[in-house]
Amino acid sequence: MNMPRLGYLGTGLMGEPMVMNLLKAGYEVTVWNRTPSKCDAAVAAGARRAESPVALARQSDVIMACLTNAAAVEAVLFGEDGVAEVTGPQLFVDFSSMDPGLTREFAERLRTANGMGWVDAPVSGGTPAATAGTLTIMAGGSAAEFAQAEPLMAPLAQRVTHMGETGAGQMTKLVNQIVSGCTMAVVAEAVNFARVMGVDATRLTEALAGGFADSKPFQLLAPRMARETFENPLGTVAMMLKDLDTIAEVGGDRAELPMTDSARALMRATCDLGHAEDDISTLILTLKGRT
Q: Tens of pLDDT along 131-159?
A: 999 999 999 999 999 999 999 999 999 99
pLDDT at 1: 47
Which pLDDT score is estimated for 139?
98
Q: Where in the chain is the domain with CATH 1.10.1040.10?
A: 171-290
216 is catalytic: no
Catalytic residue among 24, 38, 173, 216: 173
**Which residues are CB-contacts of 233 (< 8 A; sequence separation ≥ 6)?**
13, 127, 278, 279, 280
Q: Is the pLDDT of residue 217 over 90?
A: yes
Checking if the pLDDT of 160 tops 80, the result is yes
Burial class of residue 210 (count of CB atoms within 10 Å of its CB; 0-12, 13-18, 19+):
exposed
User: Residues spanned by CATH 3.40.50.720 within the chain?
Assistant: 6-165
State the fold for domain 171-290. N-(1-d-carboxylethyl)-l-norvaline Dehydrogenase; domain 2 (1.10.1040)
CATH class for the region spanning 6-165: alpha beta
